[in-house]
Structure formats: C-alpha cells, structure tokens
Amino acid sequence: MFKKLFIAVLLLSGTFFIQNLTLAQDDSKTESKTEASDEPVGIKMEDGILYGKDYDHGMQIVEFSDLMKDADNNKDKTVLVKGDVTEVCQAMGCWMILSDGTNETRVTTLHNFFLPKDVAGTKAVVIGKFIETEISEDQAKHYNEESKNPKMKTEDIKGSSKVYEIEAVGIKILNPEDKN
C-alpha cells in the first residue's frame, strides 16, 4: 500500500514539475519576444534621442566642418561635434557617416550601442575620440557592403587607406526642429 502511494505521489510531483517547467519556458519565450526588437532603443531627451552615453553639457560643441579644418590638431582628443548624418550601417546600425559636403568621417559605436538605420538626413551631436586610422581593404569592402548607397562597387576597392574616425561613446540624433 505504501509502495503504491509513494509511486502515485512521485508521479504527481513529477507531472507538476514538468508542467511548471514548461510554463516557465513559455513565459521566457514571451518575454524575449516582447523585449527583443530590431530597433535600437534610445533615451528621449528634449532636443533629440540619445544612443550611448550623454555628454557634459558644459563642453563646447564644434561644427563638423570646423573639426575637419583642424583635423591634425584634434587627433586622439575627445571631441563633441555636430554634423549632418549622411549614411548609417544597414546591417546593425553600428556606424554612421558625418559629412559637410566636402569631408566625411565614419563614426563608430564599437558595438557598444546601435543606431536606427533610417537616421541619414538628420543632424547629430557625437561625443568620442577623434582618431586617424588605417582601414584594410577587407574592412573597406565590409563597410561598403553595409552601406545603403555605396559610392563604388565593392570589387573596385583596392588596398588600405588612412581615414579619420570618431570612436563614439554617445550619439544624439537631434529633433528635426533642432537641425539648424
């Protein structure tokens, strides 16, 4: 009698355990579906949406064209720069291009945060380290393939090149009314 009762309790507790485990797994699937999104989440601020870290608002914002006029003297410095976003990585949103029509600089997030893929045509304020670096042919081809509007065919890219980049710790995409 005890043996049958013991087996019945064991079977019932096993059934409850499996049901609870299945429910917990279903809950975690639901949570990950509602929390996970293809769109990066920024922090809404008065003047735009911040991705990454905010900057010290006591710092002087430099226009991108002014930064590029004195690029050599700004190398390896933390800069706070405002400029036109002309392109964004279409794979992950891990880089964007700032341009003044003459010069352009890639702003990388180093995969610490990501940008929406549709912010080309806006203005942004970027804080990060301004560097001169050499990108390999493979890296240049990779960037070209992630571009929405590549300037050349990937197979036409040959050799490495020296470029300026900003390793961003924060990027604020400005509201349209703050474009000027």
Q: What is the pLDDT of residues 21-73, one digit of tens each?
A: 444 444 443 333 334 456 788 999 999 999 999 999 899 999 999 999 999 99
**pTM of the predicted model as reported, rounded to 2 decimal places:** 0.75
Q: What percent of the chain clears pLDDT 90, i.e. is strictly above it? A: 61
Are 60 and 13 members of one domain? no
Determine the Cα–Cα distance for residues 117 and 93; give it in Å rounded to an integer. 5
Average pLDDT over residues 8-23: 46
Are 49 and 85 members of one domain? yes
Q: Tell me the residue range of the domain where 105 lies.
A: 43-178
Are 133 and 112 members of one domain? yes
Determine the Cα–Cα distance for residues 28 and 44; give it in Å rounded to an integer. 28
User: Is 80 exceeded by the pLDDT of residue 18?
Assistant: no
Average pLDDT over residues 117-140: 95
Q: What is the pLDDT of residues 47-60, one digit of tens each?
A: 999 999 999 989 99
pLDDT band at 168 (very low <50, low <70, confident <90, very high): very high
Are 93 and 131 members of one domain? yes
Are 19 and 48 members of one domain? no
State how many domains the chain has: 2
The CATH number of residue 143's host domain is 2.40.50.200
Are 26 and 77 members of one domain? no
Are 31 and 47 members of one domain? no
* The pLDDT of residue 40: 86
Are 31 and 99 members of one domain? no
Are 21 and 50 members of one domain? no
**96 vs 144 pLDDT, higher one:** 96
* The pLDDT of residue 37: 54
pLDDT band at 148 (very low <50, low <70, confident <90, very high): confident
Q: How many angstroms separate the Cα of 45 from the Cα of each of 51, 83, 85, 86, 113?
A: 11, 18, 19, 22, 17
Chain mean pLDDT for the chain: 83
**20 vs 132 pLDDT, higher one:** 132
Q: What percent of the chain clears pLDDT 70, i.e. is strictly above it? A: 77
* The pLDDT of residue 25: 45
Are 30 and 97 members of one domain? no
Are 92 and 32 members of one domain? no
User: Is 80 exceeded by the pLDDT of residue 155?
Assistant: yes
User: Is 60 exceeded by the pLDDT of residue 9?
Assistant: no
Are 88 and 159 members of one domain? yes
What 3-state class would DSSP assign to 171? strand
